[in-house]
């Protein structure tokens, strides 16, 4: 099962702040049973660390590429983040 588990760091760019993106991602992550966090960055992007099974992360990435109704997602960059076992739940960080 460990081979099915992964961690991914996302950087989401576009009109993604002030449109409910963080809470949209929190809802999606919790619904999929993923752990991690999401936060706004000073450059206008949203950064997110998500961990869980590969299939759920694929679904989460699709949601991140779509965004909530008022968002306009121009780019989602991903990078392998490994496994950080101390993470529990999914939260907004400030």
Spatial distance between the Cα atoms of 37 and 39, rounded to a whole number of angstroms: 7
The whole-angstrom separation of Cα 7 and Cα 50 is 6
> Which residues are known catalytic residues?
22, 40
Q: Which residues pair with 52 in a beta bridge?
A: 6
pLDDT at 79: 98
Q: Report the pLDDT value the prediction gives residue 48, as an integer from 0 to 100.
A: 98
Find the domain containing 66 and state its range. Answer: 2-92
CATH number at residue 36: 3.30.70.100
- 74, pLDDT greater than 60: yes
The number of C-alpha atoms within 13 Å of 15 and in the hemisphere containing its C-beta is 6
Eight-state DSSP code of residue 93? -
pLDDT beyond 50 at 1? no
- Per DSSP, which regions of 35-71 are E strands? 35-40, 46-53
Per-residue pLDDT averaged across 43-65, rounded?
98
| Structural domains counted in the chain | 1
pLDDT of residue 2: 53
How would residue 11 be classed by pLDDT, with cut points 50, 70 and 90?
very high
């Amino acid at each position: 099962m460990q081979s099915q588990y992964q961690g991914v760091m996302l950087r989401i760019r576009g009109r993604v702040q002030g449109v409910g993106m963080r809470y949209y991602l929190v809802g999606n992550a919790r619904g999929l049973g993923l752990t991690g966090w999401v936060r706004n960055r000073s450059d206008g992007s949203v950064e997110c660390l998500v961990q869980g099974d590969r299939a759920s992360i694929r679904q989460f990435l699709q949601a991140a590429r779509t965004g909530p109704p008022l968002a306009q997602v121009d780019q989602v960059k991903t990078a392998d983040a490994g496994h950080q076992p101390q993470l529990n739940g999914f939260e907004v960080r400030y």
